[in-house]
Amino acid sequence: MRLFVFLAALLCSIQALVAQNILQGSVYDLTTGEPLIGVNVVLDNQTGTTTNRLGSFRIATDPGNDTLQLSFIGYESITQPIDDSQANEPLNIYLKPGSVELADIIVSSGESLLRKTISAYDINLRPIQTSQDVLRQVPGLFIAQHAGGGKAEQIFLRGFDIDHGTDINLTVDGLPVNMVSHAHGQGYSDLHFVIPETIKQVDFGLGSHDASIGDFATAGYAAFETVDVLDQSSIKLEGGQFNTLRTVAMINLLNKERGQIRQNGYLAGELFRSDGYFESPQDFLRLNLLGKYNLLVKDRTRLTASFSTFGSRWDASGQIPVRAVESGRISRFGAIDDTEGGTTRRTNANLQLTQSVGNRGTLTNQLYFTRYDFDLFSNFTFFLNDPIRGDQIRQSETRNIYGYRGSYSLNHRVAGMDGLTEVGVGFRYDDVQDVRLSRTQNRVTRLSDLSRGDVEQANASAWVRHTLDLTSQLSVSAGLRYDYFHFSYRNALATAPQNQSQAKGIWSPKLNVNYQLNDRIQLFAKASTGFHSNDARVVVAQQGQEILPRAYGADVGAIFKPLPNLLVNTTAWWLNLDQEFVYVGDEGIVEAGGKTRRRGIDLALRYQLRPWLYLDADLNVTDPRALNAPEGQHYIPLAPVLTSIGGVGFKFPNGINARLNYRFLGDRPANEDYSLTAEGYFLMDAKVTYSVSRYEFGLTAENIFNQNWREAQFETESRLLDEPEPVSEIHFTPGTPFFLRASVKVNFGSR
């Protein structure tokens, strides 16, 4: 009987395979010839897929005539009839850039691919114009700048005060942004080396559910991708209050096609300077350069090589105590120590190769190198430790990062079920020289070294993920990841310096389930474990304890379109951490904060009321708690509880585009017993652009109601010069007042 059942099932599977043809094709941008990644490809019977990194797709069709529908945000949708004769002839399809239509978002494309589509939709409606806007593309993510614009932003997401990157994994074109065992804090992530206008899309995920993402991906990850091809060259000039000047140039250097081979290359540069809105001028200066070359052999190979370099310098007024402002000692834009500031430099070389292997496989390889220098002067406590010379500190380091990432994916069809198997490996080695914490005075005199040494840290990883469409409605993805770390630290201040080392590995299982209830509603559930690594200096000091604290999390939610032009995404989630890391900057240490638990609800709305009118909003409610603390002492300092961003956008055919944005961050505890409150804020920004012929004119206003708000806030114990005793209270960096900028952009070259 069992043999009969097996043979019957096998026969049905063979019949299913024989009864279907496989249609192959590639989709390109009509203007640039660039392969389009993530295009929705759907048949009449609602069977669907999306294009891969080569712009290619494979889809099973029933015998007889059928119709292929292709849609992608920012492009005109097309419908193309097909017949059996095309099953063995790959199609080359070109999409024409067009208006942004919410109706083009197809719920049946899968939850992970929907995120990328929503990202493309948001970038069209929330254009990235500043380095801060780069991070704000992730729903629910808030940032705060508290060191003059040159330091990495403080990040808030899913009930985390992530500091500068402890619990979010960030990459740009596959280059890691998080700096392990950094002089200023574990996971330090500075995205200022990215030219905002070069961002093409953002692949993001909340939680630790993606097997291809490892260290720091507890609250989530964001993978930024820059454009490979420019449709035309441009120069932009921007100026505004506070002696602000910015210029961006994006120049096509190569655009050649011969037979099946297309080559493209461009150079982009950004120069930015500003005195800022503080009483002490920031004298901020940043220079960015990016060169990118792209070689495409249609349907088979894509080679991308890029080189970028970045440098910035700035002065800063730092965080100021509330008592100094309320007493009239300084204004809210004043300073206690205005000799803070720093310099930073980063140079990247990146080589990526994507190849089609056989008819169904795709192989990717990436090699990268980063050279990084960091020098930061801060003063958090003023005259607490040294009542005469002050408490200014210097944190500095020089590092080289060497890395490789590779993956292989295979589409297959077994027993009538479509599947995708992916495997990947990676290696990253950080060689950090002279990572140092020193006592200084006025950025000139070095008083003493508190810590100094060299760090070597290596991370080898491997992962596998298998996705299977069990039915036309149910898809299951299971993954497993393994990471191995080796930490080494040489303490240069020790009497007899010697290398201390520790090593450890960790397994991270993942499970994702998607269920297509109908053509308008998709349900999903996720469960996984993740981790964040500790600083190598702490690891060796603690003799290997708590090297890789684990995170446990789950998401349950739905994506649905009650109306063709209304998209709703809602998620209920929880996340537990075995160990919360708290960075204490002036002491140069990472403190253990104990076990924590977070649970919350995320809600995202995208609504196109008219062809020219768009509404969007993200709402995030979180309940963060420390698990091992007594009642009343269980609050997590600075963890956001209620956040929301959104706005209304206008895109008119006459070339006028406008956008009105809001940001809301609710009050939250500033310390463990909630005796101090970090005040929330509600802000509105506006932007208007007008495009005519080759020109675009723009006007941007930040904080249009000129609210007095606190961008960054901390509970800090400090002492002013004439105070007999220290005081513990809120210290803050004031947020941007009303800030007006104007711009003009000139496009030239072929389009």
pLDDT, tens only, 487-500: 999 999 988 888 89
Q: Of 71, 98, 125, which marks where a domain is finished?
A: 98
The whole-number pLDDT of residue 723 equals: 94
The whole-number pLDDT of residue 6 equals: 38
Percent of the chain with pLDDT over 70: 92
**Residue range 559-586: mean pLDDT, rounded:** 86
The whole-number pLDDT of residue 545 equals: 78
Q: Of 78, 98, 118, which marks where a domain is finished?
A: 98
The whole-number pLDDT of residue 223 equals: 93
Contacts 24+ apart (CB under 8 A), 591-595: 592/546, 593/626, 593/636, 594/626, 594/627, 594/628, 594/629, 595/626, 595/627, 595/628
**Residue range 659-676: mean pLDDT, rounded:** 95
Does residue 419 form part of some domain?
A: yes
pLDDT at 406 over 70: yes
pLDDT at 479 over 70: yes
The whole-number pLDDT of residue 415 equals: 76
For 67-118, how does the pLDDT look when each residue is reduced to its tens digit (9 = 90+)?
888 888 888 888 888 776 655 677 888 998 888 788 877 776 666 667 777 7
Residues 93 and 209 in one domain: no
Does residue 512 form part of some domain?
A: yes
**Residue range 712-732: mean pLDDT, rounded:** 94
Residues 69 and 213 in one domain: no
For 701-711, how does the pLDDT look when each residue is reduced to its tens digit (9 = 90+)?
999 999 999 99
pLDDT at 10 over 50: no
Highest-confidence segment of 29-43, 105-119, 655-669? 655-669
Residues 71 and 205 in one domain: no
Q: Which domain holds residue 41?
A: 2-98
Q: Can you give the three-state secondary structure of 35-48, one letter per residue?
A: ECCCCEEEECCCCE
Phi then psi dihedrals of residue 375, to 5 deg = -150, 115
The whole-number pLDDT of residue 2 equals: 45
Lowest-pLDDT choice from 545-549, 570-574, 691-695, 735-739: 545-549
Burial class (CB in 10 A: 0-12, 13-18, 19+), 581: buried
Res. 52 pLDDT band, cuts 50 70 90: confident
Highest-confidence segment of 125-129, 162-166, 255-259, 573-577? 573-577
Residues 371 and 469 in one domain: yes
Eight-class DSSP state of 382: B
**Residue range 270-295: mean pLDDT, rounded:** 96
Res. 376 pLDDT band, cuts 50 70 90: very high
Does residue 183 form part of some domain?
A: no
Res. 351 pLDDT band, cuts 50 70 90: very high
pLDDT at 335 over 60: yes
* CATH code for the domain of 24: 2.60.40.1120
Which residues, listed in sequence order, are joined to residue 452 by a DSSP beta bridge? 436
**Residue range 365-384: mean pLDDT, rounded:** 96
pLDDT at 132 over 80: no
The whole-number pLDDT of residue 113 equals: 66
Q: Of 66, 98, 130, which marks where a domain is finished?
A: 98
Residues 78 and 197 in one domain: no
Residues 46 and 193 in one domain: no
The whole-number pLDDT of residue 419 equals: 87
Does residue 123 form part of some domain?
A: no
Do strands 56-61 and 21-29 pair parallel, antiparallel, or not at all (unpaired)?
antiparallel
pLDDT at 509 over 90: yes
Res. 149 pLDDT band, cuts 50 70 90: confident
8 Å CB contact between 41 and 66: no
Does residue 130 form part of some domain?
A: no
What are the start-end ranges of the E strands in 550-693? Answer: 550-563, 566-577, 581-584, 589-592, 596-610, 613-626, 642-651, 656-665, 668-669, 677-678, 681-692
The whole-number pLDDT of residue 689 equals: 95
Does residue 71 form part of some domain?
A: yes
Res. 65 pLDDT band, cuts 50 70 90: low
Number of separate domains in the chain? 2
The average confidence (pLDDT) of the chain is: 89
Percent of the chain with pLDDT over 90: 67
pLDDT at 688 over 90: yes
* CATH code for the domain of 255: 2.40.170.20
Residues 567 and 445 in one domain: yes
Residues 434 and 317 in one domain: yes
